[in-house]
Chain A
Amino acid sequence: MESEKLILLEGVTKVYGSGPTRVDALNNINLKVSQGEFISIIGPSGSGKSTIMNIIGCIDRPTAGRYLLEQIDVSNFKDEELALIRNKKIGFVFQMFNLLPRQTALQNVQLPLLYSGINLKERKERGLYMLSKVGLEGRWHHRPNELSGGECQRVAVARALVNKPSIVLADEPTGNLDSKNSIEIINLFKRLNEEEGVTLIMITHNPEIANEAKRRVYIRDGKIEEDTSL
């Protein structure tokens, strides 16, 4: 089945630096992700969680190994091709929200559509629609500094989803949120996954949150130690 192979990591290795400063961030990672999955990646700090996500999100390249996204090997793609993949197939949610501070919520949500060359009218429609999905339709004209942390993260989720990506990657999305807002974000993820079929990979070091996903991957020292269906 095609959906079997949304993401395939084969022997992915990542080495930073060389000589005495050499760090083996990832060591022979094999991972298969199917359409519609909701995976949490958990592990101690410095275990390589962000590195794996950066490689899947095409903002970093593996030192060795293969990365197939929708059966296409993107390990050796050029910068321009990777930009296109990030734009069309990947949605990012970061711990620090990473919204543009001077732009409104709506403008932030529209950003990926801008680089797809979509016209202003459609950008606006789709942006507003996504904001309504995360329950912020009334706040579209607010700037990040006028929104709470939880609201900012919901704007970031809307931005990650607006271009209908194949997969949403979230790196500690609740790391900067209190427990109430954390629960809200997790519930939003679950709803998006169950109702809209969005494929999600979420990094966290909070075991409780990790257990909200359907599958849990445990990483240590750059290796997958455990891969459990929940």
Chain B
Amino acid sequence: MKFIEFLRVAFASIIENSLRSFLTMLGIIIGVGSVILLVSMTTGFREYLVGQFMGLGTNLIIVNPGKTETKGLGSPGFEGVQKMTKSDTIAIKRNATSVAAASSLIVGTADVRYLDRERRVMIVGTDEAFIKVINIGVDSGSFISADDVDASRRVCMIGHIVKNELFRSKNPLGDIIKIGGSGFRVIGIMERKGAFMGTDNFDDVVYIPVSAAERIFNTDRLLGMRIKARSAGMIEEAKRQITSILKKRHNNKEDFTILTQESLLSSLNAILKTLSAVLAGIAAISLLVGGIGIMNIMLVSVRERTREIGIRKAVGATKKDILLQFLIESMMLSLMGGTIGILIAFTGGFILSRFIPQMAPVMELWNIALATLFSACVGVFFGVYPAYRAANQEIIEALRHE
């Protein structure tokens, strides 16, 4: 009963001094608005990265030569490292029972030419297992076969961008393109994969047998292997098997790094967690500042309304009634600030998602609920002292106050 009336009085008082109230809320608005926007952007970015990683393929294991000391994404060092070759891949294929497919990878760039059209593209030398490991399909024709690799045939699969740039609307199947001077027959076109991490990597690629790549780039050193475990549950076992097979072949040295999507994501999460903590810290500071602003204005409000407090107490308001009335007012101030902050974050997020889709903010309910709760708590916390002052006002003095 009283509560509704207190809400009404608090609201009326906020509206009456609307400019002052708004300026008071500004700290909370900025605090809540920025933290929600930043946290939801982090969340959106994380979801984007997870989607990209998971889109690579399921149960994927990445084996690269060189040992990184940390589990991070850093590039491996090559000191004292024995090169990794396609015979390592074959050994894994033969002996690792938890592995469903393993493919070699040699990557370089070369000029690719068809008639008078030329384009510098990424050349991926690999084998028939590649499309089993990596989540990518064939649009027309068929992918490089084991025979192609064994016979080191000069055949190639081309990505969509390569096809469009070199062949336009012409059907390229069976045509010969020049890769670094050697002729390769086009045996198929890869399915459109779209951007990965904001690049066109997957569609601006020519795939050739790994054996042919060895010759073009004049090396048998692999960039790495892409391996698929038989199931999610077998990833760990597969890693153990790969480790022991490779160590045996590399003088018992662990001169390679095994990454999984999980390990990549966990490093990513660790980074994002730190980022979130920093953001939370900034938010806490701005909410603190906002809270002090609320306390300041509530003290002014209590002073201005000394007589009103005296009147209310004279007709029977208890200390608790007065305390509650002013607490509600400060809480309402900061809640209104919080709500405006949330609305601004929403609007900002919406506009942002138009420009940077990868960072499209993902607003999570718990996040919004937490921000709302937090701003209410700020209101209560910083409202307690002014409300306490109000409640303990002496009636006679309050009534004498001008």
List chain A positions with a Cβ less than 8 A from chain B: 54, 57, 59-60, 79-80, 83-84, 86-88, 92, 94, 96, 98-100, 102, 111-112, 114-120, 159, 163
Contact across chains for A115 and B399 when beta carbons are under 8 A apart: no
Q: Which residues of B contact A (CB under 8 A)?
A: 1-2, 4-5, 12, 16, 307-308, 310-321, 395-396, 399
Write the chain A residue with the least CB distance to B312: A111
Tell whether, in the assembled complex, residue B315 and residue A92 are in contact, meaning their CB atoms are under 8 Å apart: yes
Q: How far is the CA of A163 from the CA of B313 in the complex (A)?
A: 15
Contact A98 B1 (CB under 8 A): no
Which listed residue (A54, A79, A84, A114) contacts B2, Cβ 8 A? A114
A87-B317, A115-B317, A117-B1 are known contacts; what are 13 more A-B pairs with Cβ within 8 Å? A54-B396, A59-B399, A92-B314, A94-B399, A98-B310, A100-B308, A100-B311, A111-B312, A111-B315, A115-B2, A115-B315, A115-B318, A116-B316
Are B316 and A84 in contact (CB-based, < 8 A)?
Answer: yes
Which partner residue on chain A sits nearest B391 by CB separation? A79
Residues of A within 8 A of B307 (CB): 98
CB distance from A144 to the nearest CB of B (A): 11
Q: Which chain B positions have C-beta within 8 A of A163?
A: 316
Query: Once the chains bind, are A98 and B316 in contact (CB under 8 Å)?
Result: no
Contact: A119 with B1, CB < 8 Å? yes
Q: Which residues of B contact A98 (CB under 8 A)?
A: 307, 310-311, 314, 399
Is A60 a contact partner of B396 (Cβ separation < 8 A)?
Answer: yes
Inter-chain contacts of B12 with A (CB < 8 A): 102
Of B16, B318, B320, the most chain A CB neighbours within 10 A belong to: B318
Given A98-B314, A111-B312; A80-B399 close (CB under 8 Å): no
Known: A117-B2, A119-B1. A59 touches B395 (CB 8 A): yes
Cα A88 to Cα B316 with chains together (Å): 8
Give A49 to B85 CA distance when docked, in angstroms: 107
Closest Cβ–Cβ distance, residue A89 to chain B (whole Å): 10
In the bound assembly, the distance between CA atoms of A80 and B312 in angstroms comes to: 14
> A residues within 8 A CB of B318?
79-80, 83-84, 115
Chain A residues, CB < 8 A from B4:
120
A86 close to B319 (CB less than 8 A) = no
**Chain A residue at minimum C-beta to C-beta distance from B395:** A59
Most buried by B among A99, A102, A119: A102
Contacts of A79 in B (CB 8 A): 318-319
In the complex the two chains form, what is the Cα distance from A54 to B310 in whole Å?
A: 13
Selected A-B contacts with CB under 8 Å, 22 pairs? A54-B396, A57-B314, A59-B314, A60-B396, A79-B318, A79-B319, A83-B317, A86-B316, A87-B317, A88-B316, A92-B315, A94-B399, A98-B307, A98-B399, A111-B311, A111-B315, A114-B5, A115-B2, A115-B318, A117-B2, A119-B1, A120-B4
Chain B residues near A116: list those with CB within 8 A: 316
Docked Cα-Cα span, A83 to B320, in Å, equals 10
Q: Which B residue sits closest to A117, measured CB to CB? A: B1
Residue among B1, B2, B312 with max Cβ neighbours from chain A (10 Å): B1
Closest Cβ of chain B to A199, distance in Å, is 18
Asked whether B396 lies within 8 Å of A59 as measured between CB atoms, the reply is yes
Residue of B nearest to A79 (CB): B319
A86 and B399 form a contact (CB under 8 A): no
The one of A102, A118, A159 in contact with B16, judged by C-beta atoms closer than 8 angstroms, is: A102
Known: A115-B321, A119-B1. A87 touches B316 (CB 8 A): yes
Say whether B316 contacts A83, CB under 8 Å.
yes
Give chain B nearest CB distance to A127 CB in angstroms.
Answer: 13
The docked-state distance in angstroms from the alpha carbon of A79 to that of B4 is 24
Considering the complex, give the chain B residue whose CB is closest to the CB of A162: B315
3 A-B pairs with the lowest CB-CB distances in the bound complex, closest first:
A87-B316, A115-B316, A83-B318
Give Cα A159 to B316, complex, Å: 12
With a cutoff of 8 Å between Cβ atoms, the chain A residues found around residue B316 in the complex are 83-84, 86-88, 112, 115-116, 163
